[in-house]
Structure 1
């Protein structure tokens, strides 16, 4: 049976780096989500996300192509993130994706427990906040108010209670060595692939 390994974590937890590093030396197929938010410096269409407008999102949702979506009322406007059915087919092999706890639960409802495997990356808040500020500073137009909104929202969205209710039992610390975190995640995933 093929699986979808679903990486989750608060903003600036390092999940994007873990995701990229796993893709470098594995045969996992990436899940590319859709978003209506503007592309950030260094991002590429069809790699980090499919960047679309509201009209495309509405058309896909209305035609039944969208499994789950969430819209955030950010300091920069309303941004929607979503998973389309074309993103999660496991016909060709194991896949890997990144998302929120909310999106994980909706995809789990759509696919079932046996296919979707949660991988939660965690970092202490002080480290996470400093990483977020450093990342935002590299943007051509830093949006610090949005950074703060996301930081606070993540504490609610990924509370211990919500993680427990979702059945997320394995956590991988990225406080220190990225290599140790990456090694632990790869080991966990390989147990499912055997």
Structure 2
């Protein structure tokens, strides 16, 4: 049976870095989510996300193609992130995705516990905050108020209680070397592929 390995963690936990490295170093097929938020300077269409407008989201949702979505009322306007059914087929091999706890739960409801495997990345808040500020400084137009909103929201969205309710017990610490965290995750994934 093929699986969907689903990376989750608070903002600036290293998800994007680990996700990119896993894609380069394994044969996993990416799940590319959709978003209505503007593309960042370092991002590429169809790689990190499919960047679409509200009309496209509404058409896909009305057509039954959207599995889950969430809209954030950010300091920069309303941004929607969503998973479409075209991204989840495991017919051609194991897949890997990245998202929130809520998106994980919706996808799990759709494909089942035996298909989706949670991979939760954890980082101490002080380290995570400093990483977030450094990343935001690199943007052509830093949005620090949005960084703070997201940082605080993540503490609620990924609370220990919610993780426990979702059945997520395995956590991968990324406080120091991303290489060590990545090696641990790859070993974990390999265990499911045997």
Aligned residues: 194
Question: What is the deviation of 1:3?
Answer: 0.1
Which residue does 2:36 correspond to in 1? 36
Quick one: distance in 2 between partners of 1:136 and 1:163?
Answer: 27
Which residue does 1:71 correspond to in 2? 71
Quick one: distance in 1 between partners of 2:25 and 2:127?
Answer: 27
Q: Counterparts in 2 of 1:31-110, with a 5 A limit? A: 31-110=31-110
What's the secondary structure of 1:47's corresponding residue?
coil
Which residue does 1:149 correspond to in 2? 149
User: TM-score normalized by structure 2?
Assistant: 0.99
Which residue does 1:136 correspond to in 2? 136
Q: Counterparts in 2 of 1:167-182, with a 5 A limit? A: 167-182=167-182
| Structure 1 unmatched ranges of 5 or more | none
Quick one: distance in 2 between partners of 1:125 and 1:113?
Answer: 29
| Structure 2 unmatched ranges of 5 or more | none
CA RMSD of aligned residues (A): 0.4
Which residue does 2:22 correspond to in 1? 22
Quick one: distance in 2 between partners of 1:92 and 1:43?
Answer: 26
User: TM-score normalized by structure 1?
Assistant: 0.99
Question: What is the deviation of 1:169?
Answer: 1.0
What's the secondary structure of 1:37's corresponding residue?
coil
Quick one: distance in 2 between partners of 1:8 and 1:183?
Answer: 17
Regions of 4+ moved over 4 Å: none
What's the secondary structure of 1:107's corresponding residue?
helix
Quick one: distance in 2 between partners of 1:177 and 1:27?
Answer: 23
